[in-house]
């Protein structure tokens, strides 16, 4: 295996807008909101940025194509801007572009910014959009919750779990994330909910109810990266560095070959394993202190706990119900509320996860700060559907 | 060599709309409808039309009959989805018939089905597939809405080992306008029933029968099965009696259990008669509509050797009672539902892509790797088996008749569906291959992991902006679909 990028790149500054129904803000307002925070945090001038990666997912109902929306919104000095679209993993993939630019030496300081303005459709849930000329003619007429809900049927069949037990476990996940979101002033949803509320909510796609689905939000998040050496020369002492960045993309096996049983994410298993290897993590359950995963739906979070090799296969339900992933558990998951409550402006979500890790690793997360200062955090950002998806995993940690 | 029928089949949609419910909704407006409260009518799902029902009847008819032998395919209906696109060509594509097959659409009369059968019998040596289907749009609170039913029939015509040979054919063409549907108009306009009976049926049919019996050298008394669709009361019986046909030979027109399937109904009644015909039985099939067709068949000693997969009786027995008249109106676009913004997604079809991918989309043909044997859908350049990945190794593999089982599923209330919740999931074929596919004719209670599913040809989307119907295959619980596995 290649040597990887461990500790070659440091995060110089990060920013994140308030997520939510930002009725009064345009996409460029959100970009500037996140960018100003990051720029201030980095302590550099805008003109020191040498290259940028810009992530949006549903650009046809949003800012349009190409790198120009970012360049224009931030008045970047005619530098390279590449637009990245990789489903809901777009944000982490933009970050990967910026990190690779610095790691390669092509740029000393690079920017990754993600934004999504989802609340201009006129209805709840993700926007309707074409799935391609040919796909539209035969793919099942599936929504996002409908695709992810199917994990539940397959997981129950595989592990012999009753409908009720699974429903309670995924409800616990949502209750936990709402609890965490209540301590996050930037979160879209800051209300606590009870098990009863979650269990009795209207069904969106069997067995997922309203509270099993994440928020659809407007928002932006942003990272400025450089080398640890430059970060130090700019006066940074508490340096957070990138330990691993992996992306795994389905090649049609899950959708078309009978070797996949529908109960897990094949890509997440590959990407997380490679990330641990790149970061030198031997035993993730013992070494990872904090995780942010792509909880687009509660059941996604449940099976992901196994796919990232933290809960043993078939045991995620028990870890969840034991509070292992609660904010005061051994490995808190979605300590910021996750997609569920922080919100899910698609192109920004991956970067938002890294933003939270960045704050937590420095002990700057305020009321939601993990009590014992984390050393190593992991983010998992997924796009597509269980049977065909892209999965990004990052590991970031204190530069020691 | 004897010309006649080689095989037969039918299709009746699963839902049976209860006439009581229809009358209860409309009697406030027209109290006379109460006399039509008995029984039920076949009600197509929102994703069915004359083309999909014809495909279903053809599959019921053909079974394992080698489709490569077919020389022609006919489709008769007054409710064809396309005014200018060979509808029979869609049927041929869904059945994966060879491109050398001839295709014919027949329309514009309630006797189009029987006329198509007559044409096929009078024409080539065959085997020729004749299908007829109808899904009539009817005005709310109309008698026609109560008497109609949706359905289809299919007959395989040819020479040789026929199960019923054609004895004689007679016809009349008379511009007797009992009802009509003008071009571009959705609904029928009808004249007085008593006039239709006295001047229409009672004059045109007997004259045709007289010719027929003279040609055949038989009398009415010899007829064992008299199949004549007619929704008017006291027409078929008296005509039979006048022609000397025994009362017992007059076949049930299925009014109470199915309704009149329009251009298909003579063939539906014929297919039903073939199920119970004995060797030597004379079967008389008559259809009325701007004249009359009358065909006389004699069942041969092969009659019991061929059975449809389900047939009229099988499909009539497979049913789900529907009491929601409002749903019927919505399925037929008789009322304008608030379908929500999610229904507004543009469903434009790239015709060039549809044509390139017609095997995948219309024929449900995937690939079978000739290196490792893996079945896969859709067919692709590189084998999906991770241990193979051979290039350009896939032979065409039809999936429509393979046995599949549900691997994962959901019932989705968010996505737009004309009949929510939208049920869909991953269906895995026992022989290999899988597809994430829409389910149809299901309720959420019907589905679970391991459930056996059949594949059916249905409407995928209707592009109302451009008037284009897009078809694909869907999964539906298999007959005797015993729940298996977890």
B190-218: pLDDT as tens digits:
999 999 999 999 999 999 999 999 999 99
Beta carbons within 8 Å of B428's beta carbon, 6+ residues apart: A258, B404, B405, B406, B407, B434
DSSP secondary structure string, B66-117? -GGG--EEEEE-S--S-SSS-HHHHHHHHTT--TTSEEEEE-SSTTHHHHHH
Q: How far is B165 from chain A (nearest CA, A)?
A: 42
Residue B484 has pLDDT above 60, yes or no: no
Q: CB-based contact (8 Å) between A253 and chain B? A: yes
Does the annotation count A344 as an active-site position?
A: yes
Listed in sequence order, the DSSP H helices in B129-233 are 143-147, 193-195, 202-216
Residue B483 has pLDDT above 60, yes or no: no
- Nearest CB among A138, A151, A252 relative to B361 is that of A138
Q: What is the pTM for the complete model shown? A: 0.96
Residues of A in contact with B432 (CB under 8 A): 258
pLDDT means per 10 residues, chain A with 400 residues, are 92 98 97 98 98 93 92 98 97 98 98 96 86 94 96 96 97 98 98 98 96 95 98 96 98 97 98 98 98 98 98 98 98 98 98 98 97 97 97 97
Q: CB-based contact (8 Å) between A127 and chain B? A: no
- Nearest CB among B360, B386, B426 relative to A150 is that of B426
Question: What ipTM is given for this predicted complex?
Answer: 0.95
User: Where residue B481 falls among pLDDT bands split at 50, 70, 90?
Assistant: very low
Q: Do B341 and A121 touch (CB under 8 A)?
A: yes
| pLDDT of res. A1 | 64
Dihedral angle computed from the Cα positions of residues B392, B398, B403 and B405, in that order, rounded to the nearest 10 degrees: 60
Q: Do A143 and B353 touch (CB under 8 A)?
A: no
Residue A52 has which token pair? Answer: 């940028």
Name residue, tokens 């039918």.
B10
Q: Are strands A51-55 and A80-84 parallel, antiparallel or unpaired?
A: parallel
Does the annotation count A294 as an active-site position?
A: no
Span B140-152, pLDDT tens digits: 999 999 999 999 9
| pLDDT of res. B124 | 64
State how far the Cα of A113 lies from the Cα of A111, in Å rounded to an integer: 7
Residue B480 has pLDDT above 80, yes or no: no
| pLDDT of res. B126 | 79
| pLDDT of res. A2 | 87
- Nearest CB among A140, A141, A257 relative to B376 is that of A257
Q: Which of B65, B312, B67, B301 is nearest to B164 (CA)?
A: B301
CB atoms within 10 A of CB B122: 11
Q: Do A140 and B380 touch (CB under 8 A)?
A: no
Span B274-292, pLDDT tens digits: 999 999 999 999 999 999 9
State how far the Cα of A127 lies from the Cα of A148, in Å rounded to an integer: 17
Residue B361 has which token pair? Answer: 């989309």
State how far the Cα of A184 lies from the Cα of A192, in Å rounded to an integer: 12
Span B401-447, pLDDT tens digits: 999 999 999 999 999 999 999 999 999 999 999 999 999 999 999 89
End-to-end alpha carbon distance in chain A: 23
pLDDT, mean of residues B104-133: 95
Q: CB-based contact (8 Å) between A206 and chain B? A: yes
Q: Do B412 and A122 touch (CB under 8 A)?
A: no
| Strand extents, DSSP E, A195-296 | 203-205, 208-209, 219-226, 240-249, 290-292
Residues of A in contact with B462 (CB under 8 A): none
Residues of B in contact with A253 (CB under 8 A): 384, 386
Q: CB-based contact (8 Å) between A2 and chain B? A: no
Per-residue three-class SS string for A40-86:
HHHCCCHHHCCEEEEECCCHHHCCCCCCHHHHHHHCCCCCEEEEECE
Query: Which one of the listed residues A178, A188, A309, A344 is annotated catalytic?
Result: A344
Q: How far is A141 from chain B (nearest CA, A)?
A: 7
Comparing alpha-carbon positions, the chain B residue that sits nearest to A143 is B415
Query: Which one of the listed residues A16, A62, A88, A178 is annotated catalytic?
Result: A88
């Amino acid at each position: 295996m290649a040597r990887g990028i461990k500790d070659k790149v440091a995060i110089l500054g990060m920013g994140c807008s308030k997520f939510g129904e930002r009725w009064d803000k345009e996409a460029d307002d959100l970009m500037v909101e996140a960018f100003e925070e990051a720029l201030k945090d980095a302590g550099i001038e805008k003109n020191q940025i040498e290259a940028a990666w810009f992530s949006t997912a549903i650009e046809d109902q949003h800012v349009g194509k190409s790198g120009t929306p970012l360049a224009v919104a931030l008045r970047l000095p005619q530098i390279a801007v590449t637009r990245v679209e990789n489903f809901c993993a777009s944000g982490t993939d933009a970050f990967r572009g910026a990190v690779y630019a610095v790691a390669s030496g092509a740029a000393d300081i690079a920017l990754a910014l993600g934004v999504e303005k989802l609340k201009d459709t006129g209805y709840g849930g993700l926007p309707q959009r074409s799935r391609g000329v040919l796909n539209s003619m035969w793919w099942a007429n599936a929504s996002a919750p409908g695709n992810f809900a199917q994990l539940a049927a397959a997981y129950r069949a595989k592990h012999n779990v009753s409908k009720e037990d699974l429903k309670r476990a995924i409800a616990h996940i949502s209750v936990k994330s709402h609890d965490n979101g209540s301590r996050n002033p930037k979160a879209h949803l800051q209300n606590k909910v009870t098990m009863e509320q979650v269990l009795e909510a209207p069904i969106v796609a069997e067995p997922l109810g309203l509270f099993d689905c994440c928020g659809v939000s407007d928002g932006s998040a942003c990272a400025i990266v450089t080398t640890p050496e430059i970060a130090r020369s700019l006066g940074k002492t508490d340096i957070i560095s990138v330990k691993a960045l992996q992306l795994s993309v389905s090649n049609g096996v899950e959708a078309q070959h009978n070797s996949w049983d529908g109960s897990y994410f094949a890509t997440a298993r590959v990407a997380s394993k490679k990330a641990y290897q790149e970061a030198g993590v031997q035993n993730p359950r013992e070494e990872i202190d904090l995780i942010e995963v792509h909880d687009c739906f509660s059941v996604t979070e449940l099976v992901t706990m196994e796919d990232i090799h933290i809960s043993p296969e078939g045991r995620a339900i028990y870890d969840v119900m034991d509070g292992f992933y609660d904010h005061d558990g051994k490995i808190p998951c979605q300590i910021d509320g996750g997609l569920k409550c922080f919100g899910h402006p698609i192109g920004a979500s991956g970067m938002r996860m890294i933003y939270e890790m960045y704050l937590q690793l420095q002990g700057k997360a305020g009321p939601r700060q993990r009590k014992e200062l984390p050393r190593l955090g992991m983010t998992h950002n997924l796009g597509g559907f269980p049977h065909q998806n892209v999965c990004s995993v990052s590991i970031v940690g204190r530069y020691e | 060599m004897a010309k006649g029928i080689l095989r037969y089949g039918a299709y009746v949609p699963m839902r049976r709309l209860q006439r009581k419910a229809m009358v209860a909704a409309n009697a406030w407006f027209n109290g006379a409808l109460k006399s039509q409260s008995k029984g039920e009518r076949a009600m197509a799902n929102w994703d069915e039309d004359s083309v999909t029902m014809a495909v279903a009847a053809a599959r019921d008819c053909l079974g394992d009959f080698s489709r490569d032998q077919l020389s022609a395919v006919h489709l008769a209906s007054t409710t064809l989805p396309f005014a200018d696109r060979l509808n029979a060509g869609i049927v041929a594509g869904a059945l994966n018939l060879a491109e050398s097959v001839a295709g014919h659409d027949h329309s514009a009369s309630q006797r189009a089905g029987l006329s198509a059968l007559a044409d096929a019998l009078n024409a080539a040596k065959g085997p020729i597939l004749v299908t007829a289907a109808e899904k009539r749009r009817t005005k709310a609170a109309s008698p026609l809405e109560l008497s109609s039913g949706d359905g289809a029939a299919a007959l395989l015509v040819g020479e040789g080992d026929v199960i019923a040979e054609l004895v004689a054919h007679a016809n009349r063409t008379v511009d007797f306008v009992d009802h009509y549907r003008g071009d571009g108009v959705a609904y029928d306009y009808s004249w007085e029933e008593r006039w239709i009976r006295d001047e229409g049926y009672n004059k045109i049919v007997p004259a045709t029968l007289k010719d027929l019996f003279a040609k055949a050298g038989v009398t009415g008394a010899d007829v064992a099965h008299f199949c004549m669709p007619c929704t008017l009361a006291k027409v078929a019986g008296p005509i039979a009696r006048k022609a000397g046909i025994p009362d017992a030979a007059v076949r049930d027109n299925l009014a109470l259990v199915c309704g009149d399937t329009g251009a298909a109904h003579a063939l539906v009644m014929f297919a039903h008669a073939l199920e119970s015909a004995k060797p030597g039985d004379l079967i008389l099939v008559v259809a009325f509509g701007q004249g009359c067709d009358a065909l006389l068949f004699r069942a041969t000693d092969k009659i019991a050797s061929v059975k449809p997969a389900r047939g009229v009786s099988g499909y009539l027995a497979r049913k789900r009672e529907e009491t929601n008249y409002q749903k019927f109106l919505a399925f037929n676009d008789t009322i304008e539902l608030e379908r929500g913004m999610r229904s507004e997604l543009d469903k434009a079809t790239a015709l060039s892509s549809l044509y390139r991918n017609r095997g995948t989309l219309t024929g449900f043909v995937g690939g079978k790797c000739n290196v490792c044997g893996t079945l896969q859908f859709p067919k692709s350049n590189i084998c999906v088996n991770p241990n193979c990945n051979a290039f350009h190794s896939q032979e065409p593999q039809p999936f429509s008749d393979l046995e599949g089982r549900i691997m994962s599923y959901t019932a989705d209330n968010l996505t737009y569906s004309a009949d929510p919740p939208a049920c869909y999931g991953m269906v895995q074929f026992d022989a290999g291959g899988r597809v994430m596919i829409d389910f149809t004719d299901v309720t959420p209670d019907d589905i679970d992991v391991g459930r056996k599913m059949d594949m059916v040809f249905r409407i995928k989307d209707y592009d109302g902006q451009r008037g284009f119907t897009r078809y694909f295959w869907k999964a539906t619980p298999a007959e005797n679909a015993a729940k298996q596995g977890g």
